[in-house]
Amino acid sequence: MKKLVALLLVLSLMLSLGGIALAQKDSLVIGTGAEATRFFPANEKGTNGNDYAVVIANLYDSLVRMNAQGEIVPALATEWSVSEDGLCYTFTLREGVKFHDGSLMTADDVVFSLGMSAPLANGKALLINYDHAEKVDEKTVKVYLTAPYSGFINGMASRVAMIFSKSYYEAVGSEGYQAAPIGTGAYKLVSAVSGDSITLEAFDEYWAGTPAIKNVVVKLISDTTTQTIALENGDIDLLMSPSIANCMLLDTSKGVTWATGSSAGRVTMHISSNEGTPGHEDLNFRRAVQSAVNKQEVIMGAMEGYAEQIDIDMCPNYSGRPEGYDVVPYDVEKAKEYLAASNYNGEEFQILVQSGTMYDIVAQIIQYQLMEVGINCTVNAVDSATFTDLWYAGKYDAMIRNTNSSLLDADGFLNFFMATDYAPTNNNQHPRTKEIYDLGMAARKAQGEERKALYLQAVNIVTEEAYEVPLFANTNTLAFNASLNGVEVYPLSSVYLYGISWAD
């Protein structure tokens, strides 16, 4: 009797193991700490990077797409050209592209989508100088600009340039679209349970072909340690944007791996020259800070060495980035000389930073470095809402943050010198802000080498005046089950599900 039971047990075990091996795995569980809540790209309150990362990036397509290397490749448009004056972009649309409801995508949908997204706050920031779009014929759309803007094609690959269905929108409206979004993307939205998970399903009629992964669940896991455990445990297969420190702790013997890629963001320390700060009317003090920062030490300490040092506030992958700019090397002796020549008398020099982030660690390392040369440096680590408030109000001596350029364009560096148009830097009282702003605005209109030359002048002023200490280009990460193929790290922290499949 005992033998019979044992035999039965062994048999059932073998059967169940065999069953697992036989079933072709076609589902994927993604873990993320950032919840997507808006699924309609032309939502009047806009969408953000969290909405885009998994959901919008896979539900919709834009006319052109940015690949993992940051290059612009065809998507809903098969080809495109720019007029000589840079004021008109002509796109040839892909034929036979279907929306999730089975209807065909047309030139009208393209004109309608762009026309609706461009005037929104997000649209104004990403589709810079957009004027209007025009349907030439069923497969050609022209997009006109008010003034040339060299980074415009990158904007056409961003989340605000996603194409949605005109007729569906007219039938259901913005709220209906949010509740049951349809796009031309490789995946359809099945359900979204706020605070818990979002479920996607493959779109079999996707223009590029049927996706390999049929079902995708995006699970919200806010605690970073729990994320790592869930990945090692097999609860999730892919983890969005884990920190480098957490990646280093991953136990690769459990069949998980991780990858890094260049990001759209760079980490920079901004030194204030507002009244009442040590940097006010004191170039020698600002230069002392500039020379005292050991960037390599910061990269080792905060990023385990997985980041590229930068000396201007632009990532190496930005289009339009100049070369041959001035670089101030790390030099403690020089820093001490500058400090001696400055008006500095041991006042507190406070670095503003968002608490609990990697930038908090960066600030602490720099604090130590500045104290070494005799600056009474402190760190003011606050929650994100307070951080934004203090930043916009200009209430800091120095501030460290990661700034993304969703366009991956040199133009992004101008954010901190937007003397007129934008709120954040109304409180930036650098005496040469206007000069930098004018150069940046001129560069927007210029093309090629002429454009780079203008940026070169602008970044050299920033370095000369020591308004900023650029630290490193940030690194994007993905951690995942080692049996997954085709996982690529994208500069905008998104994941392109169509390319992913399970190894046989």
Compute the least distance from the CB of residue 272 to another protein, in Å: 17
Please tell me the distance from the alpha carbon of residue 53 to that of residue 492, in angstroms, as a whole number: 8
Compute the least distance from the CB of residue 179 to another protein, in Å: 11
The reply to whether 415 sits near another protein by the rule CB under 8 A is: yes
Which member of 68, 88, 172, 220 binds another protein (CB under 8 A)?
220
Count CB atoms within 10 A of the CB of residue 10: 10
Annotate each residue in 227-246 with x if it binds another protein (CB under 8 A) or - if it does not, as one string: x-xx-xx-x-----------
Compute the least distance from the CB of residue 38 to another protein, in Å: 7
The reply to whether 190 sits near another protein by the rule CB under 8 A is: no
Compute the least distance from the CB of residue 8 to another protein, in Å: 24
The reply to whether 38 sits near another protein by the rule CB under 8 A is: yes
The reply to whether 423 sits near another protein by the rule CB under 8 A is: yes
Cβ(183)–Cβ(60) under 8 Å? yes
Question: Which of these ranges, 150-158, 337-345, 417-425, 485-493, lies near another protein under the rule CB under 8 A?
Answer: 417-425
Compute the least distance from the CB of residue 225 to another protein, in Å: 6
The reply to whether 102 sits near another protein by the rule CB under 8 A is: no
- Spatial CB neighbours of 452, under 8 Å, sequence gap ≥ 6: 320, 321, 322, 323, 410
Which member of 95, 204, 326, 421 binds another protein (CB under 8 A)?
421
The reply to whether 181 sits near another protein by the rule CB under 8 A is: no
Q: How many residues lie near another protein (CB under 8 A)?
A: 45
The reply to whether 210 sits near another protein by the rule CB under 8 A is: no
E strand or H helix at 250: none
Q: Nearer Cβ to another protein, position 254 or 368?
A: 254
Compute the least distance from the CB of residue 37 to another protein, in Å: 4
- Spatial CB neighbours of 451, under 8 Å, sequence gap ≥ 6: 150, 320, 410, 443
CA distances (Å), origin 347, targets 276, 278, 289: 10, 7, 14
Which member of 82, 87, 125, 328 binds another protein (CB under 8 A)?
125
The reply to whether 207 sits near another protein by the rule CB under 8 A is: no
Residue located via tokens 């995942």: 480
The reply to whether 259 sits near another protein by the rule CB under 8 A is: no
Compute the least distance from the CB of residue 415 to another protein, in Å: 7
Q: Nearer Cβ to another protein, position 61 or 313?
A: 313
Which member of 17, 121, 136, 259 binds another protein (CB under 8 A)?
121
Strands 398-404 and 348-354: parallel
Please tell me the distance from the alpha carbon of residue 436 to that of residue 455, in angstroms, as a whole number: 9
Cβ(229)–Cβ(221) under 8 Å? no
Beta-bridged to residue 190, according to DSSP, are none
Residue 501's Cβ-side half-sphere holds a number of Cα atoms within 13 Å equal to 7
Please tell me the distance from the alpha carbon of residue 106 to that of residue 123, in angstroms, as a whole number: 21
The reply to whether 422 sits near another protein by the rule CB under 8 A is: yes
Cβ(91)–Cβ(143) under 8 Å? yes
